[in-house]
Structure 1
Amino acid sequence: MSIWFGMRVQVPCFEWYVPERWATLNSEQIETVRTRVQKAISPLKPADFSTRAPKGFLFNAKRTDAGRTLPPYYLVYFLLVDLLGFTNLGQFEKVAWSVPVEYDGRPFLVEHRKFGLGVFAANVPEDEQAAAEIVRLIHKATKAAQPYFDWKAEQAAKASQLNVVNRSPELFERLNFSLALYADRQQEAEGRKDERVVTHLSEMSYAVAFPAVELSREAKWLGLSAIECFFSWTEHVFIHIAILRGSCATGEDVAKLAKAEWAEKFKAALDITDPTTKQFYDQLAIVRRQLRNFVAHGAFGKDGEAFHFHSTAGAVPMLLPHRRDRVALKFGQGVDFVAAEAIALIRQFIDHLWSGPREPAKIHIQEFGLPLNLTKVVNGDYTRAMTSVEDMESYADHQAHLNALYANMDF
Structure 2
Amino acid sequence: MDKKFATQQKYFDLFTKDFLPNPTPKYHEVELKRGIKTVYIKDFPIESIKLKRSPYIVFIIFAKLLNFKFLGRWEKTLWEIPVLYKGIPFMLSHRKFGFQFTSFQKGANLTKLAKEAIKNIDNAIPFAEQLFQEEIKQKVIDGRISLSNEYRPIKERYDFFRRKAAAIYKKMNFPTPTGDALRDYEMLIMQNLLTPPEASFYTVAMLDAFFSLLEHSLVLIIPFLNHGFPENNNLEQFIGMNWKGKYQYVFSKSDPKTVAHQLNALIDIKEEYRNPISHGHFHKNGNSFNVHMENLGAIPMSLSKNRGNLSYGFKLPGDKEFKQICNVLDCFDDFIAKNKETKYGIQYIKTGFIVAFDKSSHEKYMDAMSSEKAFGNFLDYTSYQIESSANMDW
Q: Secondary structure at the match of 2:173?
A: helix
Paired with 1:296 and 1:257, the residues of 2 have a C-alpha distance of 23
Superposition RMSD in Å? 3.3
Contact kept? 1:75, 1:149, Cα under 8 Å: no
Q: Does 1:342 align with 2:325?
A: yes
Report the counterpart of residue 276 of structure 1 in structure 2.
Answer: 258
Contact kept? 1:306, 1:334, Cα under 8 Å: yes
Judge which range, 89-98 or 303-312, deviates more: 303-312
Q: Does 1:261 align with 2:245?
A: no
Per-residue deviation at 1:262? 0.8
Paired with 1:132 and 1:91, the residues of 2 have a C-alpha distance of 26
Q: Does 1:77 align with 2:77?
A: no
Report the counterpart of residue 385 of structure 2 in structure 1.
Answer: 402
Report the counterpart of residue 170 of structure 1 in structure 2.
Answer: 153
Paired with 1:397 and 1:169, the residues of 2 have a C-alpha distance of 18
Report the counterpart of residue 382 of structure 1 in structure 2.
Answer: 365
Cα distance 1:169–1:70, how it changes in 2: closer, same or farther (>3 A)?
closer
Contact kept? 1:164, 1:371, Cα under 8 Å: yes
Per-residue deviation at 1:69? 4.1
Contact kept? 1:185, 1:215, Cα under 8 Å: no
Per-residue deviation at 1:97? 0.6
Paired with 1:250 and 1:59, the residues of 2 have a C-alpha distance of 53
Paired with 1:379 and 1:220, the residues of 2 have a C-alpha distance of 42
Q: Secondary structure at the match of 1:190?
A: coil
Contact kept? 1:181, 1:222, Cα under 8 Å: yes
Cα distance 1:221–1:30, how it changes in 2: closer, same or farther (>3 A)?
closer
Per-residue deviation at 1:161? 1.9
Cα distance 1:138–1:335, how it changes in 2: closer, same or farther (>3 A)?
same
Cα distance 1:374–1:55, how it changes in 2: closer, same or farther (>3 A)?
closer
Per-residue deviation at 1:193? 8.1
Q: Secondary structure at the match of 1:317?
A: strand
Paired with 1:28 and 1:59, the residues of 2 have a C-alpha distance of 47
Paired with 1:260 and 1:379, the residues of 2 have a C-alpha distance of 22
Paired with 2:31 and 2:11, the residues of 1 have a C-alpha distance of 30
Report the counterpart of residue 83 of structure 2 in structure 1.
Answer: 101
Report the counterpart of residue 294 of structure 1 in structure 2.
Answer: 276
Report the counterpart of residue 181 of structure 2 in structure 1.
Answer: none
The number of residue pairs the alignment matches comes to 361
Paired with 1:31 and 1:351, the residues of 2 have a C-alpha distance of 56
When normalised by structure 2's length, the TM-score is 0.81
Identity fraction in percent: 21
In structure 1, the gaps of 5 or more residues are: 1-25, 195-212
Contact kept? 2:20, 2:83, Cα under 8 Å: yes
Paired with 1:293 and 1:39, the residues of 2 have a C-alpha distance of 53
Q: 2:346 aligns with which of 362, 365, 390?
A: 362
* Greater relative CO, 1 or 2 (CA 8 Å, sep 6+): 2
Cα distance 1:295–1:104, how it changes in 2: closer, same or farther (>3 A)?
same
Contact kept? 2:30, 2:102, Cα under 8 Å: no
Amino acid at match of 1:225: A
Q: Secondary structure at the match of 2:393?
A: coil
Q: Does 1:224 align with 2:204?
A: yes
Per-residue deviation at 1:391? 1.9
Cα distance 1:232–1:54, how it changes in 2: closer, same or farther (>3 A)?
closer
In structure 2, the gaps of 5 or more residues are: 178-192
